[in-house]
Structure 1
Amino acid sequence: MTPATYDYGCAGVIGIGTPQANPTVEAEMRVLMPPAVLVAVTRLTSTADQSIDRLRDYLAHLDRALAQFDTLRPAAYGFACTGSSYLIDRDREHALTERLEARFGYPIITATDAIHAELQRSGATRIALASPYPPALADAAALYWRQRGYDVTEVRRIETGNADTRSIYALGSADARPIATALAARDVNAVLLSGTGMPSLALLADPPPGAPLLSSNLCLARSLCRHLGLAEPDPIDWHPRLAAALTPSNEGHSPQ
C-alpha cells in the first residue's frame, strides 16, 4: 500500500505515546522535532490508583493506544514512558513490542531503548542518574541500567514531595539543575535525566560544566529522526523554538 501523503508532515509522520496526565512530552517534541514532521500523539491510559500499576498498564495495554490511530500509519512510534520499562522484564517488553509491530506495521521505539542507543553511540559506560521518581521506582531505574551493562555510579533523587509519579509533572528544569550540576562534576561519562514528564530542555540548552546531560525526550527525538532519515535535532534549530515556547505571549492583551 502506498503511504498516505498529508499537507502537514512532508518529512514524515511519527507517533508518540505519552502517559495520560503528562504535559511535557508533546511540548518538548514540538520543540525538538523538525516542523515538517507531523507528530501524532496517543495517550497511555490506566484507571489504576497506584503509580506502579499505572506504569505497568501503559505497556500491557499499549495495543489500545496504537489502535487510536485508526487508519493513520506513522513511520515509527515512540513510547515516551521510561518508568514502564523499568518495571517489566526486558525480554517480555521486547516480545510485546515485536508482536505489536507485526500487528500494526511500524516500529515501536521505547524511550529506554533510545537512551541506550545514545549511550552506546557516545561510548558512555559510567553514568549517573538524576531521578524524579519515588524510591522504589528510582531503585528499579538504577537496576535496569546496571542490567544493561552500565556502571551506575550514583543516583540522586529530585524530590517532588509526593509518592505519586504524576507529581513529576509539576517540576521544572530549574528543579533538576542543582542535582544535574552536582552529578555532571562526577567522574562519569554522562548524566541521565530520566523521566519523560520532567521538563529538561532549558537545562539541556544551558548545561552545567562537566559530563554531558541526556534526557529521555531528547534521546527519543534523536532516535525517531534517525529512523525517518532526518538530521538529528540541532540546537541551532531547537533553541530558538524553546525560547519562543517559554516566552509568555501578549496576544489578546490590550496595551496599557
Structure 2
Amino acid sequence: MAAETRGRTRIGVFVPFTNTNLEPDMMMLRPEGTSLHFARLGGYDADEIPDEGQMAQLGASDMEEPLRLIQGVRPDVVIYGCTSATLAHGPKFDTDLRSRIAAQSAAKTVTAAGALVHALKKLGAHRIGFASPYVPSLNDEAIAFLASEGFESVGRADVDGTLDNEGQGALLPEDVFELGKRADHPEADAVVLSCTDMRAVEVIAELEAELGKPVVTSNQAMMFQVMDIANLGPAPKGFGQLFERISA
C-alpha cells in the first residue's frame, strides 16, 4: 500500500518567487500524512543581487494578500520560507512577523530564521560554523542575528564571487558540501547552512559523517520545528542528527 500522503496536517509554505529548491526539499522532508501547499512571495527584484537591501524589501513586503490566499487551504501550520528576508531586519522583526502571520492565519507559524535558532537550541549548540550563498555583508547580518540569540560563530565560509538569485539556487550539492567543510571549526558544536534556496538538505548526512557534528540547514530546521510544534513524526530518515531527535 502506498504511504499516506495527506490528512494529518496541512502545511502552508511561503516561497520567494525565484526560489527553485524549497519546494522539492520540503517534499523530501515532510512526514507521512502531511500535505504541502505553496504560495509565492514577491517584493524584490529578480534581476538584482539578493543583498541585504533586496532581502529587507522582501521581508517588509505586504503579506495581506498572500495570507488571504493561503488561508483558502485552512493550513494547520504556516512556514515563512526565506531566511535572509528576516535576518536582514533582526530578531524582533522576525518575532513580530511570526506573530502577525499566526494572528491572521490562525495557524501555528514558523519562520526560517527562527527555525535555525530553534534547532540550535534543541541541539544544545553554542558555537557554530556558518555558511551561506549570500553576499558577505548579508552574512555579517546573519551572524549578528545569531549572536543576538546567543550563538557565537567561530567559523565562516563565504561563496566565491557574487551570486544572483539564479546562481544561489544553481549551486550543486557537492559545492554546498565543500562550503560546509570550509565553515567548520574545531570549536564549533554544529555547522549552519543558511538559505532556503541552497541545496543543503541533500548533503546533511554526508557532511555530518565528514565533520562528526550536527549540520543544520534552513529547510531541515523549518520542517523540524513544524514536526516539533505540531507533534508530528516519525521524521524521514537520512536528514541528520536534528531529525533523529523527532524519531527518538
TM-score for the superposition, normalised by structure 2: 0.84
Q: CA deviation at 1:145?
A: 0.9
Point out the more displaced range, 55-64 or 134-143: 55-64
Does residue 194 in structure 1 map to residue 194 in structure 2?
A: yes
For residue 215 of structure 2, what is the amino acid of its counterpart?
A: L
Equivalence for 1:122:
123
Point out the more displaced range, 68-77 or 215-224: 68-77
Q: Secondary structure at the match of 2:73?
A: coil
Of residues 14, 18, 33, the one that matches 1:17 is 14
Cα 1:96/1:230, change in 2 over 3 Å: closer
Question: Does the 8 Å CA contact 1:126/1:151 hold for their aligned counterparts?
Answer: yes
Equivalence for 1:26:
23
Q: CA deviation at 1:184?
A: 3.7
Equivalence for 1:112:
113
Superposed counterparts of 1:162-241, under 5 Å: 162-184=162-184, 186-207=186-207, 208-231=210-233, 233-235=235-237
Question: Does the 8 Å CA contact 2:8/2:34 hold for their aligned counterparts?
Answer: yes
Question: Does the 8 Å CA contact 2:155/2:185 hold for their aligned counterparts?
Answer: no
Q: CA deviation at 1:183?
A: 3.5
Cα 1:96/1:34, change in 2 over 3 Å: closer
Equivalence for 1:62:
63
Provide structure 2 residue ranges, at least 5 long, that are not aligned to the other structure.
241-248
For residue 156 of structure 1, what is the amino acid of its counterpart?
A: A
Question: Does the 8 Å CA contact 1:133/1:165 hold for their aligned counterparts?
Answer: no
Q: Which protein has the larger Cα radius of gyration, Structure 1 or Structure 2?
A: 1
Deviations 1:140-194 (A, max 9, x none): 11111111111111221123x4353442011021102123224345221000001
Q: CA deviation at 1:233?
A: 2.4
For residue 172 of structure 2, what is the amino acid of its counterpart?
A: G
Question: Does the 8 Å CA contact 1:221/1:233 hold for their aligned counterparts?
Answer: no
For residue 20 of structure 1, what is the amino acid of its counterpart?
A: F
Distance 2:222 2:81 in 1: 8
Cα 1:235/1:166, change in 2 over 3 Å: same
Question: Does the 8 Å CA contact 1:134/1:165 hold for their aligned counterparts?
Answer: no
Question: Does the 8 Å CA contact 2:9/2:76 hold for their aligned counterparts?
Answer: yes
Superposed counterparts of 1:65-80, under 5 Å: 65-80=66-81
TM-score for the superposition, normalised by structure 1: 0.82
Provide structure 1 residue ranges, at least 5 long, that are not aligned to the other structure.
1-6, 240-256
Pairs aligned (count): 231
Question: Does the 8 Å CA contact 1:184/1:213 hold for their aligned counterparts?
Answer: no
Q: CA deviation at 1:68?
A: 2.1
Point out the more displaced range, 169-178 or 204-213: 204-213
Q: CA deviation at 1:21?
A: 1.0
Q: CA deviation at 1:47?
A: 4.7
Deviations 1:68-114 (A, max 9, x none): 22522111111111101111132233223323322221122101111
Quote the RMSD (CA, aligned, Å). 2.2
Q: Secondary structure at the match of 2:213?
A: coil
